[in-house]
Amino acid sequence: MTGLKVEWAVAELDKFIRQTVMKNNSYAGNGVVSISNTFSTAAADAEVTQQAQVVEKIFDRVIPSWRADIELRRSNRWTRHREAAIRAKAELERQEEIRRNLGEDAPELSAAELHPWIWSGASSLWQSGHFREAVEGAIKKLNAETQNKIGRRDLSETDLFNQAFSEHPPSSGKPRLHRMEANGSSTFRSIQRGARAFAEGVFAGIRNPLAHEASQEMPEQQALEYLAALSVLARWVDESTLEVVS
């Protein structure tokens, strides 16, 4: 969990778990037993609500699909949150042990650590388990930010990137994005051509199939890999120098 402070997160989850222990209010004291048979959380509902605001952010990082995967039972409003807190705590406390014993001690890729354009375009849909739509949102965000950077709303997707990363010098109304100094070298031409080819692959291989698979959900791992590819392209656009006619 890149960037997540595990000890802090576990402490916040523990607090929420303690707050949401259910207590029976039937016993009124002095030997009196109420017939109402009511239950409430250990902490006041307002306190639980405040803590929920924090732990939901932890859930989104540790178990992103918690809203879709965990059933909300009718017994009380915090059942889903409480189960998510217990699962997230176990995941955080035992993640190193699990990776070591299952032979998965490999680097992890965090969606939240991808280029900001990509994650901002995908995050809300990703957190609700709509992975295919999240990828689409990231592509739309990348396209819009590239249009904004070169000031061209008349082009989009493959045409936009072909123009932006062209090896030809900028001309009136046609700015360029240069990933390195335009010194006429074969390296410059290769880098520009590579950016164009990569962008074409993104739109032909990722964007276009999505348009024809609206009814099919995408596996989380596949969606994460697609976001990683989009992040590479977003970083190239963001870090390139904008060249215009002086």
Q: Which residues contact 73 (CB under 8 A, 6 or more apart)?
A: 79, 80
Contacts of 183 (CB under 8 A, 6+ apart): none
147 in Cβ contact with 239 (< 8 Å): no
Tokens 């803590």 sit on residue = 51
Q: Spell out the per-residue pLDDT of the chain, length 246, in tens.
A: 555 688 999 999 999 999 999 887 765 555 555 555 677 889 999 999 999 999 999 999 889 889 888 988 877 889 999 999 999 999 998 887 777 777 655 667 788 889 999 999 999 898 888 999 999 999 999 999 999 999 999 999 999 999 999 999 999 999 999 999 999 899 999 999 999 999 999 999 999 888 777 677 888 889 999 999 999 999 999 999 999 987
Answer whether 58's CB lies under 8 Å from 11's CB: no
Q: In the chain, where are the structural domains located?
A: 6-102, 111-243
For the entire predicted model, the pTM comes to 0.63
Nearest-angstrom CA–CA distance, 138 and 105? 29
- Helix or strand or coil: residue 176? strand
